[in-house]
Chain A
Amino acid sequence: MASTDGKGIGKVIFSSSLGTLIEWYDFYIFGMLAKTISVQFFPEGNDTAALLSTLAIFAAGFLVRPFGALVFGRLGDMIGRKSTFLLTLVLMGGSTFLIGLIPGYRSIGIAAPLLVLLLRLVQGLALGGEYGGAATYVAEHSPVNKRGYYTSWIQTTATLGLFVALGVIMAVKSNMSDAAFTAEWGGWRYPFWISILLVGVSIYIRLKMSESPLYTKLKKEGKTSVNPLKESFGHKANFKMVLLALFGAVMGQGVIWYTGQFYAQSFLENTVKIEFMQNREILLWGIGLATPFFLVFGALSDTIGRKWIMLSGMLLGVIFYRPIFSTFLKDTDVKVWIQKDASLPEAVHPKEVIKVDTIDTGTAPMLVTHSKIHWALNDGIKFTENRADTTLRGTDGSAAVIKEDTRPNYTDKVLSTTLKWKFIFLVFAMILFVTMAYAPIAAFLVELFPTKIRYTSMSLPYHIGNGVFGGLVPFIATLLSASFVNDPLVGLWYPIAVAGLCLIIGAMFLSNKIDKNIND
């Protein structure tokens, strides 16, 4: 079977990648706007809403994505790649747009979180079905010597989807006040509404594409699978390859992907406490600079094989995660900043009293003053010191005793330009590891399974690897942090251990040979 010519393959890659990028965008904006969504749909103090919120977070990623891989994988192997991933796009775009239209909890009560949960589950289902279809579709159009390169365009979409989501949210947010953004019908809804335009364009383009040539040939010959699930997971010869794909490649890739793209962002925001916009700026630069390397490593995998590039990405993560995250913490130590910058008197740092709590102790009244001190140091460094100072008033006319907060916390840190670029480099390095582990994986998975059950066989391990192993990074990190409170980097042992295990299994069991003939 001849592969598609140069111009044709360009259209195939563009239409597949655009749709997949939009699906990732749709999936990410929900996570990125989680705080606002929580306020609008899952108010604190309501147990049912809290339960629905937890389900929306955990069920969509862990349960529904692998389920979507099975449902749509089966469909894709039975009725074709094109119609199936078109369907996933419609489901994803439609549910995203509808989330943006649901009135808040204050307007329609418990129906609001219920609808959001339902639509979030549809999103998870659709995402589970999209990737396998797009990767298979592109690979089945590609010549053997460019399969890794062409499918690496699909691999860029997960990162570019994050890039677009970040960019759209930042653009909307920077053009309005916080109150206008977070209001019930405020700016946070715009990214959801924008989705319908993107999806409309993508559906139009995809409708014009033809079915994969390999699948068309298979269908003409009457060789399509009648039961892809049974053939994928019920036959030992194929099932053992599904297990190998999961434990020898995708499991490690999933944690590397999640740690580089999401855990780093969350760590910089919640642990290091970098200011919201600067944190996103760092991530945007890191992603923007590293994304072309998906194509570099995809193309390289056509020359030297897939295995060692993927495993090198995992190895680099295992070696460098702790030093990188440790640098994030050390370089933003406020006490060191203050020591280095003794040039400015304290008076220039404006103090803002937020509230004063009066606590009746039975004897003398106790006042707790919550205040913010806005520090501005040399080199553009800024941060906010959040204090809670206690004042004990003497009842007998004696002077008040002030107990200063000895452990204030520091938030909204703005880094100097030099330090910002250092952090951009470190984030870039972590996303570079992602590009190594992730770029060749579509071609690797496609080559592992036969055409008639390819969509089903590759989708399930992919979504278990990324959705379950990757998606568990923040949960296990919180779990480890609760058990080992003295090590702020303890959460990293989970991705390090999973990537390390996958590295060992991959090195021992995987073949580096490129399967030249996927027409089977």
Chain B
Amino acid sequence: MNQLKRISGVLWMILAPVVIYLLVMGAVHNIDSTGTKDINKPIPWIIIITVFTPIAIGLMIFGFYSLKGEYDKLPESSDDL
């Protein structure tokens, strides 16, 4: 299982920039001054991309930690933290 966790780390690291790319492309394609839906307004996209960027960076770090074997053994108690 530990080997699988480490290999999957690469996947999480790749997934993070893919999510941001999809969000940016979603914004580019859907922001439209003539549209009336929320997806046509720039403000929601700005807020969502602003909030999602650190989350995606978090996913990359999660992937990096997985790859390095940081999750091979989870702490048994708070003393291990």
Report which A residues bind B (CB closer than 8 A).
51, 54-55, 57-59, 62-63, 66, 235-241, 243-244, 246-247, 449-451, 464, 468, 472, 475, 478-479, 482, 504-505, 508-509, 511, 513, 515, 517-518, 520
A55 near B43 (CB under 8 angstroms)?
yes
The interface residues of chain B lying within 8 Å CB-to-CB of A58 are 38, 43-44, 47-48
Q: Are B39 and A475 neighbours in the complex by a CB distance under 8 Å?
A: yes
Contact yes or no, A237 B51, CB < 8 A: no
Q: Is the beta-carbon distance between A508 and B38 smaller than 8 angstroms?
A: no
- B37 contact set on A, CB distance < 8 A: 478, 482
Give the docked Cα–Cα distance between A208 and B74 (Å). Answer: 39
Q: CA of A334 to CA of B52 in the docked complex: distance in angstroms?
A: 41
Within 64-80 of B, Cβ neighbours of A (below 8 Å) are at: 65-66, 70-71, 74-80
Kindly list chain A residues whose C-beta atoms are within 8 Å of the C-beta of B44.
Answer: 54, 57-58, 475
State which size class the interface on B falls in: 35 or more
A residues in contact with B78, CB < 8 Å: 449-451, 518, 520
CA–CA, A520 and B81, complex, Å: 11
| CB < 8 Å neighbour of A520 from B62, B66, B77 | B77
Contact A54 B62 (CB under 8 A): no
What are the interface flags for B1-27 relative to A under an 8 Å C-beta threshold, 1 for contact and 0 otherwise? 100110010001000000000000010
Residues of A within 8 A of B61 (CB): 239, 243
Q: With A508-B4, A508-B8 given, is the CB distance from A244 to B71 under 8 Å?
A: yes
Return chain B residues, CB-CB under 8 Å to A472. Answer: 48
A247 touches B39 (CB 8 A): no
Given contacts A237-B81, A472-B48, A520-B77, contact A479 B39 (CB under 8 A): yes
**Shortest distance from the beta carbon of A514 to any chain B beta carbon, whole Å:** 12
Tell me which of B5, B43, B65 contacts A54 (CB under 8 A). Answer: B43
Determine if B65 and A246 form an interchain contact, defined as CB atoms under 8 angstroms apart.
no
Q: Are A468 and B52 in contact (CB under 8 A)?
A: yes
CB-CB nearest 3 A-B residue pairs: A450-B78, A520-B78, A243-B62
What are 18 residue pairs bridging A and B, where the CB atoms are less than 8 Å apart in the complex?
A54-B41, A58-B48, A236-B65, A237-B80, A240-B70, A244-B62, A244-B71, A246-B58, A449-B78, A450-B81, A451-B78, A468-B51, A505-B8, A505-B12, A508-B1, A508-B8, A517-B77, A518-B78
Q: Is the CB of B55 within 8 A of A468?
A: yes
Q: Interface readout for B28-70 with A: 1 if CB under 8 Å, 0 if not?
A: 0010000001110101100110111001001101100110001
CA distance A482 to B29 in the complex (A): 11
Given that A54-B38, A508-B1, A508-B4 are known contacts, is A238 also in contact with B51, CB under 8 Å in the complex?
A: no
Q: In chain B, what residue has the closest Cβ to A251?
A: B55
B79 to chain A: closest residue by CB? A520
Q: Please give, as numbers and ranges, the residues of chain B lying within 8 Å of A518 by CB-CB distance.
A: 78
Residues of B close to A237: CB separation below 8 A: 75, 80-81
A66 contacts across to B, CB distance below 8 A: 51
- Quote the shortest CB–CB distance from B63 to chain A (angstroms): 9
Residues of A within 8 A of B70 (CB): 236, 240
Contact check, A464 vs B77: say whether CB atoms are below 8 A apart. no
A63 touches B71 (CB 8 A): no
Not counting A240-B65, A244-B62, A246-B58, a sample of 7 additional A-B residue pairs whose C-beta atoms are within 8 angstroms of each other reads A55-B43, A240-B70, A241-B81, A243-B58, A244-B71, A450-B78, A475-B48
- A241 and B65 CA atoms in complex are apart in Å by 11
